[in-house]
């Protein structure tokens, strides 16, 4: 199995945000990444494909541009929406425009199980989808935990890889960490089947 992965391009027409981000350059960067990933069995985008510019028509235009770019390569693409995507779109809108593979959140490929738990919920269980987003409040709800637990328990799941937008790693800056991260880490660890966890969202980057 050969996976390609990119994340957090935060694409928009904006030239500069947050002092150092250059969203308008992201289209070209994603194109370069897709060219470098040619021949992969699957490409994953782990979120924040779009940066909400405050203009819904402009947001739609930019997401459609990005979707056309992703589909111009002959590889299936899975897009896990991130907090910035939910600031601009509902999940239904995002899926309709991108027409990529998306939640629900289990894929089996070449004997491996790929899990994409959705942490874009507040701690009180309210989904980001269709609601104002507070990126500092993220949580994996009981429904997603149940799916994780059941999938990991299945005999068909021999080797699992977990992909998240927000963070389980306790060593990154605290606002980026999922509120129920200790519970989720314990669940993944106790299965004995999870070989790697990839998480994004924390833009300075971290490896553990």
Chain contacts with Fe ion (rule: CB under 5 A): 48, 82-83, 201
Which CB atom, from 48 or from 129, has the smaller least distance to Fe ion?
48
CB of 17 to Fe ion, least distance (A): 13
CB of 128 to Fe ion, least distance (A): 11
Beta strand ranges found along the chain (DSSP E):
3-6, 42-45, 77-79, 106-109, 112-115, 160-164, 194-199
Question: Under a CB-based contact definition with an 8 Å cutoff, are residues 196 and 162 in contact?
Answer: yes
CB of 193 to Fe ion, least distance (A): 27
Helix (H, G, I), strand (E, B) or coil at 75: coil
Which CB atom, from 113 or from 128, has the smaller least distance to Fe ion?
128
Question: Under a CB-based contact definition with an 8 Å cutoff, are residues 86 and 92 in contact?
Answer: no
CB of 138 to Fe ion, least distance (A): 9
Peptide bond into 51 cis (omega under 30): no
Which CB atom, from 62 or from 201, has the smaller least distance to Fe ion?
201
Which CB atom, from 26 or from 83, has the smaller least distance to Fe ion?
83
Shortest-Cβ-distance residue relative to Fe ion? 201
**Nearest-10 crossing angle of helices 26-36, 56-71:** 20
Which CB atom, from 80 or from 160, has the smaller least distance to Fe ion?
80
DSSP characters over 165-208: SSB--TTS-GGGB-TTHHHHHHHHHHHS-EEEEEE---TT----
CB of 42 to Fe ion, least distance (A): 21
């Amino acid at each position: 199995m050969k996976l390609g992965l990119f994340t957090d391009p935060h694409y928009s027409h904006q030239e500069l945000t947050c002092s150092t981000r250059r969203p308008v350059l992201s289209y070209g960067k994603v194109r370069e990444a897709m060219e470098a990933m040619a021949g992969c069995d699957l490409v994953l985008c782990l979120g924040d494909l779009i940066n909400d510019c405050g203009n819904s028509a402009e947001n739609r235009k930019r997401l459609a541009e990005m979707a056309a770019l992703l589909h111009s390569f002959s590889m299936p693409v899975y897009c896990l929406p991130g907090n910035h995507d939910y600031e601009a779109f509902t999940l239904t809108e995002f899926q309709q425009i991108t027409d990529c593979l998306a939640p629900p959140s289990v894929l089996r490929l070449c004997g491996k199980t790929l899990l994409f738990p959705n942490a874009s919920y507040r701690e009180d269980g309210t989904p980001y989808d269709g609601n104002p987003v507070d990126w500092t409040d993220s949580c994996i709800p009981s429904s997603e935990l149940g799916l994780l637990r059941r999938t990991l328990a299945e005999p068909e799941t021999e080797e699992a890889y977990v992909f998240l937008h927000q963070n389980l790693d306790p060593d990154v800056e605290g606002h980026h960490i999922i509120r129920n991260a200790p519970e989720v880490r314990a669940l993944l660890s106790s299965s004995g089947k999870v070989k790697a966890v990839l998480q994004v969202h924390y833009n300075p980057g971290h490896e553990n």
